[in-house]
Amino acid sequence: MEETKVMKEMLDIQGSDGNWNYNEYMHGMYNGMEYMLAMTEGREPVFRSAPETWIKDKTFTDGPKSHDMT
Protein backbone atom coordinates (compact mmCIF):
# COMPACT_ATOMS: atom_id res chain seq x y z
CA MET A 1 0.00 0.00 0.00
CA GLU A 2 1.48 3.32 -1.10
CA GLU A 3 0.20 5.24 1.95
CA THR A 4 2.02 2.89 4.32
CA LYS A 5 5.25 3.35 2.37
CA VAL A 6 4.92 7.13 2.67
CA MET A 7 4.19 6.82 6.40
CA LYS A 8 7.37 4.73 6.85
CA GLU A 9 9.43 7.36 5.02
CA MET A 10 7.98 10.10 7.21
CA LEU A 11 8.70 8.05 10.34
CA ASP A 12 12.30 7.55 9.18
CA ILE A 13 12.71 11.31 8.84
CA GLN A 14 11.08 12.02 12.20
CA GLY A 15 13.24 9.28 13.76
CA SER A 16 16.54 10.75 12.62
CA ASP A 17 19.01 11.88 15.28
CA GLY A 18 18.53 15.55 16.04
CA ASN A 19 14.85 15.40 15.20
CA TRP A 20 13.05 12.95 17.48
CA ASN A 21 15.38 13.70 20.40
CA TYR A 22 15.37 17.50 20.08
CA ASN A 23 12.64 18.07 22.68
CA GLU A 24 9.63 16.48 24.33
CA TYR A 25 7.27 17.54 21.56
CA MET A 26 9.35 15.95 18.80
CA HIS A 27 9.74 12.79 20.88
CA GLY A 28 5.97 12.56 21.27
CA MET A 29 5.54 13.22 17.56
CA TYR A 30 7.76 10.25 16.74
CA ASN A 31 5.98 7.91 19.13
CA GLY A 32 2.58 9.02 17.84
CA MET A 33 3.63 8.41 14.26
CA GLU A 34 5.03 5.00 15.24
CA TYR A 35 1.72 4.16 16.91
CA MET A 36 -0.29 5.06 13.80
CA LEU A 37 2.02 3.09 11.50
CA ALA A 38 1.92 0.06 13.79
CA MET A 39 -1.89 0.16 13.73
CA THR A 40 -1.95 0.13 9.92
CA GLU A 41 0.58 -2.74 9.85
CA GLY A 42 -1.26 -4.78 12.51
CA ARG A 43 1.67 -4.89 14.93
CA GLU A 44 2.63 -3.58 18.35
CA PRO A 45 4.35 -0.18 18.26
CA VAL A 46 8.02 0.09 19.18
CA PHE A 47 8.19 3.32 21.16
CA ARG A 48 11.40 5.21 21.84
CA SER A 49 12.28 6.15 25.39
CA ALA A 50 13.23 9.73 26.16
CA PRO A 51 16.97 10.47 25.98
CA GLU A 52 18.87 11.45 29.12
CA THR A 53 19.23 14.99 27.80
CA TRP A 54 17.21 16.70 25.08
CA ILE A 55 19.31 18.32 22.37
CA LYS A 56 17.61 21.67 23.06
CA ASP A 57 19.05 21.55 26.60
CA LYS A 58 22.64 20.73 25.62
CA THR A 59 25.32 23.38 25.68
CA PHE A 60 27.53 23.49 22.62
CA THR A 61 30.87 25.27 22.70
CA ASP A 62 31.94 24.59 19.11
CA GLY A 63 30.72 26.11 15.89
CA PRO A 64 29.36 29.49 14.93
CA LYS A 65 26.98 31.45 17.10
CA SER A 66 23.70 32.55 15.57
CA HIS A 67 25.01 36.11 15.15
CA ASP A 68 28.15 34.81 13.38
CA MET A 69 26.22 33.06 10.58
CA THR A 70 26.31 34.83 7.26
Tell me the per-residue pLDDT of 2-57, one tens digit each, with 9 for 90 and over: 999 999 999 999 999 999 999 999 999 999 999 999 999 999 999 999 999 999 99
Q: Residue 70 domain-assigned?
A: no
In whole angstroms, what is the distance from residue 62 CA to residue 14 CA?
A: 25
**Amino acid letter, residue 12:** D
Is 22 a domain residue?
yes
Asked if residue 59 is part of any domain, the answer here is: no
Instruction: Specify if 67 maps to a domain.
Output: no
Structural domain total, the chain? 1
Q: Is residue 64 part of a domain?
A: no
Higher pLDDT, 31 or 68: 31
- Return the pLDDT at 65: 61
| Residue 1 pLDDT exceeds 80 | no
Note the pTM of the prediction, 2 decimals. Answer: 0.81
Percentage helix, strand, coil, to 5, in the chain? 55, 0, 45
- Rounded to whole angstroms, the Cα distance separating 26 from 20 reads 5
